[in-house]
Structure 1
C-alpha cells in the first residue's frame, strides 16, 4: 500500500509561514492534484512529501511509514520536474536507467524496465538519442520514463507541462491520462493549470495562502464549490459575481442587483436562502455557461434581462460575450449563432437554477 498522509504539516521560511497546518489523506493508487495561485504553498507541499524541503512541524507518512525525517532517496518516490532535468551527455536510455544503475540494479532488470517504460510512452525509437535531439514533449516523456522505471510507491509531478506550448500541453495531458491507465501508482500532481487538474485528477486539493480551501472531485469543485475563492478559481472563464440584496416579496424571495434589476429566487431554493432576507452583503455567482439568449416562454428558474453587448470573442464552437449587468461586467459563453453583436442591445436570460450565493462576511457559499 502507498497511501500518503499529511498531518498538521507546517512549513516556515524564517518568520514567514508558507504552509499552515494542512491535513491531507491520499489513498493508495489515487491521483491527487494540488492547485492554486502562485505562492499558495502547493509546490512547497510537494517538495516536503519528496523530502526536498524540511517539515517545520507535523508528520508525513508514505505507506504507513513516517518519512518526515527520511532522506529523499529512501522514501521510495520518483519525481518529474518542470525542467525535465535530463543529463545532456547521456542518451535517452542512459538517462532513464541512471537511477537504477546508481542502485546497482541487475543489468537484465534495467533492460526489462527501460524497454517496458519506452513501450508504454512510445519512445522506443528515441533510446539512442541525446536530449538535444528531442522535442519538448519527447523530453518530458523521457523524464516520465525515468520515474516509471524506478517502480516507486509514489509519483510526484511538479508542473511538468508548464514549459510546453499549448498544443503540446494538450497532447501530454492525453499521454499522462493514458499512462495512468497502464501504471496505477499513487500520484501527487502540482499544477497552476486548472484544466490539467480537472482532466487528470481523481480528487483536487485547492490551496490558498498556505491553507487548503477545499478537497473534492473535479465535479464537486466545479458544481458545488465551498468558498468564493474555489468558485472563482475553478472554471475558465471564471464564475461571475454580482453584489445584491436579498429581499422577501410575498411568499417568495428576490435579489435586488441595483439599477432596478430584480431577479426572483427559484421556488425550490427559497427554503435554502430564507434566512438571508434583508441581507445586503451577498454575492450572486453564475458561471458563463448559465447565460443564454432569452426564449419565450422562459423555462422555470430562468430570468430575462436587457443589456448591451460590449465585446464578442469568437473561439470556434462558442463565443465569450461580455456585457454589463447592474454595473458589473459579466462574461457569458454563448453559441456563435446567438445573435450577439458588439454595441447592440440583446435580451439574455440567467439560469438561476444554477446560482450560488456567497456570504461576503465569511467567504463561504451558502448551502
Structure 2
C-alpha cells in the first residue's frame, strides 16, 4: 500500500492530503484495502453508498444500462432520465408544475438552486447559516461559512450574509431589509457535526421567506434520500420549500445530483439556455439512481434506517464518559465527545477495522450504508467503549499500540 500512496502523491493534486487507505474492493458494508485488510464501513463514502458495495440490483441496473446506452447529449433525452425525474417528484411530494434539473454532484445541484434564487430577485442578497457547507465551486462556496474555505477565493459568486442557526430573530431582521432573494438551509448540518435544525426553526423560515418573497432552499445533499428514515429530512416538519437539492446517496456511488423546483412559478424561473450540463442526467447515472430509489422502497430501507438509527443511538449514548450525546436521525448520526479527540478515535477505529469520520475535533460522524445490519451496527457499538478507553489513555500520556 505504501508504494501506491507514493504514486498517489506523485500524480494527484494534494487537495485531500494523504489518503488514509488504498481501497481495492467492497461487498455489502465492508471494504478491503490494498494490503488485504477488511473494514466495516460506517461512513459509506460520506453518505454516498446507500446500498453499500456490489448490491445486486444496483450492479444489474448499471451493467445493463452501460451495455445499452451510457451517454447522450442534452439535445436528447432518455426513458431513464424521464422516469427518474418523475420518481423524484413523487418521493419529494412536489406539487403540480414542479420540475427537476439533473446534474453531477451536490455542489452542482446547489449551483442550480443559486441561479434560480438569483433570477428570482436579481441583485438580491442570499442568506445562509453559520457553519453551513454547500459545496466548493465559486457559487456554492459563497454559501459555505468556513472562512478557510472561502477567503482564498474571494470575491465569490453571490452576496451572502450568514446568520446564526436557530435564531429566528436574526433571520427575520435580515429578511425585513427587503433585499433578500433566498435562504439556504441544511435540515441537518452534516459537515458542522450532524447538527439538526429544529422543526420550529424550519417552519419559521418558511413563514418568513414567504412573507418577504424570498425563496427557501433546503440542501438535502447529505441528509436526503432516505438517510434519516424519510425520503427527505424536512418532510417530518410539514414544510414545503421552494427548492430542494440532493446528491450523495441518490446515485449509490455513481455521480449524480438533482435540484427540484417546487411549483410552476419557481420551476420556470430559468429559461432555455440559462443553465445546463454535459453529463447531467445521463442514462447511466439515472439508471443507478432509479435502482437506489427502487431498492430503498422494495427492501423497506426507510423504516430500517429509522429503527437502526434509534438502536445505535441507544447503544452509544451513555456507553462511555467521553460520550456526551448523539445527534441526528436515522443513519446520519454525530457522536458528540466531551474532549477534542475525534481524530484519535477515527485512527483507533480504523486500526480496529471500522471506518468512521471526524466531522470536527469533538464529533464522530456515522453515515453508513442503509443496508447496514443490526449485527454489524452492534459490532461497532460493542467495540466503541474500548476504542474510547484507548484514546483516553493516550490523552493522559500513555502509549497506544498502532499498526502504522
TM-score computed with the length of structure 2 as normaliser: 0.27
Which one has more relative contact order, counting CA pairs under 8 Å at least 6 apart? 2
Larger Rg: 1
TM-score computed with the length of structure 1 as normaliser: 0.29
Higher helix share: 2
Higher strand share: 1
